[in-house]
Structure 1
Amino acid sequence: MQELILVISRCVSKRRSTKEEKSFYRFHFKGYYAGEKIKMIHLYSSKFDPKNEQLSKGDDYLLWVKRKRVNQEVLEVELIKYKKII
């Protein structure tokens, strides 16, 4: 069973992956996770409809995610659920 990670962070931007033709969101993060230095979080989700974008740049979110991998100080995660912080 993969562990659930709880993150509080600000959405920096929405990007499109060049390799997979998939969209993802970039979230601000500077610190360590499981002993590895992390400079950014890339959030992937199959739950988002491209026509009805649900996350907004500059807003803060509480994110429940599962780790996919760490690649060049970027934590790549899959979204389970989220809540916008007001």
Structure 2
Amino acid sequence: MGGVRAWNDFRRDPATGVVTYSTHYEISESGRVLSAESKIAFPAKESLAQMLGQTGLAVEEWLGNWRGEPYAPTSPEIIPIGRLR
């Protein structure tokens, strides 16, 4: 049984802000490469709030990281906590 080489690459569309990233695995024994691609959007908090409101969700708290600290414009994350209206 041979090894597997893995790597990632990404690109960002400046017009939309959408990041497309790919994960690749090369099986050494056969040279076969398996890949998967995903897209992630990073909207501003205001845009996210508007989209959530349109879906019938009410945000009660905005967190800025996974430690539960409040959101600030310099936060690394935007985590809405809420409920259905």
Higher Cα Rg: structure 1 or 2? Answer: 2
What is the TM-score normalised by the length of structure 1? 0.23
What is the TM-score normalised by the length of structure 2? 0.24
Q: Which has a greater percent of strand?
A: 1
| Highest RCO, 1 vs 2 (Cα 8 Å, sep ≥ 6) | 1
